[in-house]
Amino acid sequence: MDSTLLALALVDLNESEVLKLVKEKIDSGADPATIIKELQDGISIFGERYKSGNYFIGDLILSGELFNQSMKLLEPLLVNNRKVQGDLTKMVLGTVKGDIHNLGKDILAVLLKASGFEVYDLGINIEPGAFVSKLTETGASILGLSGLITPSFESMKETVAAVEAAGLRKKVKIIIGGGVVDDLVREYTGADAFSTDAMEGIKLCKRLAREVRHD
Amino acid sequence: MIKETMTREQRLLAAVTHGKVDRIPVSSMFDDFALRQKGLPRQFGGDAEYTARVLQAYHEVYDDLGGYDFQWHAGPGFSYSSWHGCMDMVVNSVPGKEGAVMPEREVLTQEDYDKIINLGWNGFCREFYTRVSGLSIGQIDEMQKKQFSIMQEDRKWWEERGVPILIGGMTMNCEMILSLGRTLTELTLDIYRQPDKIRAVIEAMVGDCIANTLRNARATGIPWANILLARGSSTFYNIPTFERFVFPSIKKMVEAFVKAGLFVNMHLDTNWILNLPYFKEFPKNKCMVELDSTTDILKAKEILSGHVCIKGDVPATMLSLGKPEDVSAYCRKLIDVIGVGGGFILSTGCTCPVDAKYENVKAMVETAKNYYPH
């Protein structure tokens, strides 16, 4: 079986083909880590094409759905599979206090998982203290703060301050995201990076993960 | 201050029809901003006393800003949410900065699709509104009558000052209603997995959406229909999907509204740049698009120039975090470039942010009143 077929089926958003290929690979005894790698390759190719402007949020939603469905098929094989559970970058994610928008955050969460991150998605309307607790509990090195409305800027700023007050700031890189954030907001909140776009967000999270490792 | 030679109504009409204006018209949807300025928390469906305070806040902010050229709606607006039942609005909880937001919550099911196809949108809504709101049809009808009466009463305040109202009738595009009801994720998967069903649902909805909007416009006598378009843009979908599931119902709506003698305002959230060429199919000098600063307004001008009026688009971030001089500079640039040849109205991108700095909003309004090089 051509190992790129699965990746390409995902890039083509061909739902029936993706699921058929994953099932065939499972039945033939393929290593689940290899299957996940192929799916991740598909997401990666997808990301490159997204940057070119040929794909849209609807396509991101579909690609995430295909990845999730594939992972459900793989789930029984993943229990105690250290090869798969190995060296993932941990990231805490949530929509900040006072904001309940979840759309962009949810898309990002799926794509982060599909890109090799271990994501702790706290949900919406999250207090600064809850972010700090989760960072402490998990040892995550990246924090993603989402918000769509302008009042969320203040909550993002409070959360960054809370991370600082907890003594975690040097160990944690912080990225903010949402439809209206820009460099002015990044500077105001004290975050390390910002993104208005899920695929660019993935790229930035990978960059931040590398920076954390090198610090 | 530029010497004004037109009434506000004449100025608005001239902008929409690409005629000559004495200065660029300026306005926004100031609801949440006005309430915060007057220390009034946002509530939905408040009592008569609260409603009176809301209207007073809107009026006072109008006066504080030295007036602007039109009011988006009469009445309290979002405070009475008797729009489509699927617009499940809640209030964000940032203390002192409360505003209206729409949660992604699934209130329409896949089983509802067949009901809509069989009953039409209005027939389906008899059941749907009661299911979502928990109110009886009688209570909903009563609420809508009350809302209409408050709006008509409030119109007098604006009309005494010569301020036109922009909303006569209003609808969302069909795919946006479905997206808010199903959630964006579920509707997107439905479009992918059962495209013919979704097209049939939209086809079953559009006639009722048009009829409802026309009825409201006739009842108010305000010659404007508004279409809310926040989910169907090239931010979300590719062009073939737009052509099949988004544009046909917009086109039917616009054509019906214009045929009925109305102007059409389309509120475009997110990035519509790839979709705007289709808007040239609409009748010339009858339509306006409100851009939220995500769509490149300079490119929008290139595409729509002389055909569709553009309203926008001071960015929310600039209004909340920037300085008055930044806002003034941005507004002057818009007037310089987008104002050429008419067909431009200065405004915030989307609604005025609840936490916009007063001096920034004032700077926007003042720039329109003091700067017109054309």
DSSP output for B177-245: HHHHHH-HHHHHHHHHH-HHHHHHHHHHHHHHHHHHHHHHHHHHT--EEEEEESSSSTTT--HHHIIII
A68 and A117 share a domain? Answer: no
* Chain A contact present for B101, CB below 8 A: yes
* Residue A17 domain boundaries: 5-81
* CA–CA gap between residue B19 and residue B342 (Å, rounded): 6
Domain's final residue, options A81, A116, A142: A81
* CA–CA gap between residue A100 and residue B98 (Å, rounded): 12
Of B124, B170, B106, nearest in space to B144 by CA: B170
A204 and A105 share a domain? Answer: yes
The DSSP letter of residue B87 is -
Q: Which phi and psi angles does B55 have, rounded to 5°?
A: -65, -40
> Which CATH number belongs to the domain containing residue A34 in this structure?
1.10.1240.10
- A184, B235: Cβ pair inside 8 Å? no
A33 and A133 share a domain? Answer: no
- B192, A15: Cβ pair inside 8 Å? yes
State whether residue B252 is helix, strand or coil: helix
| pLDDT tens digit sequence for B127-165 | 888 887 777 888 877 877 888 888 899 999 999 999 999
pLDDT at residue B78, as a whole number: 56
- B104, A65: Cβ pair inside 8 Å? no
The CATH code for residues B8-370 is: 3.20.20.210
Number of folded domains in chain A? 2
Of B284, B244, B185, B265, nearest in space to B12 by CA: B265
A137 and A192 share a domain? Answer: yes
Closest by Cβ to A151, choosing from B92, B184, B237: B92
* CA–CA gap between residue B241 and residue B235 (Å, rounded): 12
Which residues 6+ apart lie within 8 Å of B238 measured at CB? A54, A55, A56, A58, A59
A181 and A201 share a domain? Answer: yes
A160 and A136 share a domain? Answer: yes
A142 and A61 share a domain? Answer: no
Six token digits for residue B329: 């500079």
Residues of chain B with Cβ-Cβ distance to A65 below 8 Å are 185, 189
| pLDDT tens digit sequence for B263-303 | 999 999 999 999 999 999 999 999 999 999 999 999 999 99
Interface predicted TM-score (ipTM): 0.86
A68 and A96 share a domain? Answer: no
Query: Element (H or E) spanning B21, and its range?
Result: none
- B97, A154: Cβ pair inside 8 Å? yes
Looking at the DSSP bridge assignments, the partners of residue A121 are A93
State whether residue A152 is helix, strand or coil: helix
- Asked if pLDDT for residue A98 goes beyond 90, the answer is no
- A150, B92: Cβ pair inside 8 Å? no
Least confident of A62-66, A106-110, A151-155, B98-102: B98-102
A10 and A102 share a domain? Answer: no
- Asked if pLDDT for residue B85 goes beyond 60, the answer is no
Residue bearing tokens 């099949």: B244
Percent of residues, chain B, with pLDDT higher than 90: 74
Residue B207: pLDDT band (50, 70, 90) is very high
Domain's final residue, options A31, A53, A81: A81
A112 and A22 share a domain? Answer: no
The DSSP letter of residue B307 is T
Six token digits for residue B246: 């988004």
The DSSP letter of residue B85 is T
A73 and A56 share a domain? Answer: yes
Of A182, A60, A148, nearest in space to A112 by CA: A60
Contact B89, B78 (CB under 8 A): yes
> The pTM is what?
0.89
pLDDT at residue A150, as a whole number: 86
- Asked if pLDDT for residue B260 goes beyond 80, the answer is yes
- CB pairs below 8 Å between A and B: how many? 97
> Which CATH number belongs to the domain containing residue A206 in this structure?
3.40.50.280
Domain's final residue, options A81, A111, A129: A81
A55 and A97 share a domain? Answer: no
Residue bearing tokens 């003034």: B328
Contact B266, B289 (CB under 8 A): yes
* CA–CA gap between residue A111 and residue A71 (Å, rounded): 12
Residues of chain B with Cβ-Cβ distance to A180 below 8 Å are 315-317
